[in-house]
């Protein structure tokens, strides 16, 4: 589950619209971990998918308040690799690459709908710190910097305008925090509890004139608080 909160801002920093709500999803992880701490390499593949509807609070282009629902579909894939260093609290610096796609379907209420598809690759740099370790159970703090690479937005006006502009929002620094609690179960199984926080930020896109209209994507910010529950198997 993730508590999704998104906001767009005008050029003076005032809020144009917000979207917020709880979205269910699925989370997968595949990794090769060292048998013991020390100078050992670890790779990890992560995949997540969330789908649901949230509340939209905003306004029309003329400034009239406008509330509706928005369909959200978010998929995220990442691969990272790092090396463990021994100590009282083992530490693993890591580097990774990911891909994120977010489809935003602003559903029609009194007005026509609007569909937007955000897509970007991202760099991911950070550190894992083992705060507690006992046999196969541990508690790990994961702190990472994330940076979108060449974000792209595809817009569909749902027939209101006969154009489908492709915009380029600005890339800004983001943050991803995870606290992973891994508990050993019988037969090499594990129970993973993982609260997390994600912060994404995009800058205003350049204006684009097409089909007789001029459009741009406002600056935006996304704050996601979430929780993953996984059952794992160690081999």
Could you read off the pLDDT of 135-171 as tens digits, one per residue?
778 999 999 999 999 999 999 988 777 888 999 999 9
Confidence of residue 65 (pLDDT cuts 50, 70, 90): confident
* Token reading at 93: 């610096």
pLDDT at 159: 75
Q: How far is residue 30's CA from residue 27's CA, in Å, rounded to a whole number?
A: 11
pLDDT at 116: 95
pLDDT tops 60 at residue 187: yes
pLDDT at 112: 66
What is the chain's mean pLDDT, rounded? 92
pLDDT tops 90 at residue 207: yes
User: Using CB atoms within 10 A of its CB, is residue 13 exposed (0-12), middle (13-18) or buried (19+)?
Assistant: exposed
pLDDT tops 60 at residue 208: yes
Measured over the CA atoms of residue 134, residue 135, residue 137 and residue 143, the dihedral's sign is positive
pLDDT at 137: 86
pLDDT tops 60 at residue 38: no
pLDDT at 113: 74
Once rounded to an integer, what is the mean pLDDT over residues 175-186? 95
pLDDT at 66: 84
pLDDT at 124: 98
43-57, 108-122, 192-206: which has the minimum mean pLDDT? 108-122
Q: 119 or 61: whose pLDDT is higher?
A: 119
How many helices and strands, by DSSP H and E, does the chain display?
A: 0, 15
CB 124 within 8 A of CB 88: no
pLDDT at 222: 98
pLDDT at 110: 56
- Which pTM does this prediction carry? 0.92
16-20, 23-27, 65-69, 141-145: which has the minimum mean pLDDT? 65-69
Once rounded to an integer, what is the mean pLDDT over residues 203-228? 94
Tens of pLDDT, residue by residue over 72-107, are 999 999 999 999 998 889 999 999 999 999 999 988
Instruction: Measure Cα distances from 90 to 86, 95, 118, 184 in Å.
Output: 5, 17, 37, 19
Once rounded to an integer, what is the mean pLDDT over residues 189-206? 97
SS3 content of the chain, % helix, strand, coil (to 5): 0, 75, 25
- Closest by CA to 4, choosing from 197, 225, 219, 177, is 225
């Amino acid at each position: 589950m993730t508590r999704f909160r998104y906001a767009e801002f005008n050029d003076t920093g005032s809020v144009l619209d917000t979207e917020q709500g709880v979205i269910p999803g699925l989370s997968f992880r595949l990794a090769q971990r060292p048998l013991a701490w020390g100078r050992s390499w670890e790779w990890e593949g992560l995949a997540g998918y969330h789908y649901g509807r949230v509340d939209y609070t905003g306004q029309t282009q003329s400034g009239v308040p406008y509330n509706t629902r928005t369909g959200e579909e978010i998929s995220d894939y990442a691969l990272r690799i790092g090396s463990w260093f021994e100590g009282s609290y083992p530490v693993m610096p890591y580097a990774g690459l990911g891909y994120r796609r977010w489809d935003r379907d602003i559903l029609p209420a009194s007005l026509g709908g609007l569909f937007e598809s955000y897509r970007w690759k991202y760099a991911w740099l950070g550190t894992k710190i083992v705060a507690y370790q006992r046999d196969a159970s541990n508690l790990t703090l994961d702190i990472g910097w994330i940076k979108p690479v060449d974000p792209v937005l595809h817009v569909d006006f749902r027939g209101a305008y006969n154009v489908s502009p492709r915009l380029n929002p600005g890339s800004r620094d983001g943050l991803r925090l995870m606290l992973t609690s891994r508990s050993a179960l019988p037969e090499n199984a594990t129970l993973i509890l993982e609260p997390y926080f994600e912060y994404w930020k995009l800058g205003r896109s350049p204006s684009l004139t097409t089909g007789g209209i001029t459009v741009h994507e406002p600056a935006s910010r996304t704050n996601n608080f979430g929780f993953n529950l996984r059952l794992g198997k160690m081999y």
